[in-house]
Amino acid sequence: MEDYMLPCLNKKFFGIECLGCGLQRAITLIFQGEFVAAFQMYPAIYSLIILFIYIGINIFFKFKHSNKIIGALAILTVATIIISYIIKLIN
């Protein structure tokens, strides 16, 4: 699976990682059962998974206040991505 991963063009051309760097490797680590390593690779992986699962379930079963829940999960995910990216740049 690792042989088929897409390279980060931002890192390749500019030498700086993008906000999505590590996502593919984190997904691979989850499939291998390395849950802590996946979080360390890309901290927003679990909030992304929860967000997409909730959106998928919400397609078939409508929940009360689902827009607010999706909005809160999206804000949590984006905040996690941005904060982890800033921390990665500082280190």
Residue 90's identity, in one-letter code, is I
CA 35, CA 65: separation in Å to the nearest integer?
A: 30
Domain ranges in the chain?
2-90
CB atoms within 10 A of CB 69: 15
Q: Which two tokens stand for residue 64?
A: 């009360």
> Whole-angstrom distance between the N-terminal and C-terminal Cα of the chain?
29
> 74 Cβ partners below 8 Å, 6+ apart?
51
| Per-position pLDDT tens, the chain of length 91 | 677 888 888 888 988 888 988 999 999 999 999 999 999 999 999 999 999 999 999 999 988 999 999 999 999 999 999 999 999 889 8
CA 74, CA 52: separation in Å to the nearest integer?
A: 10
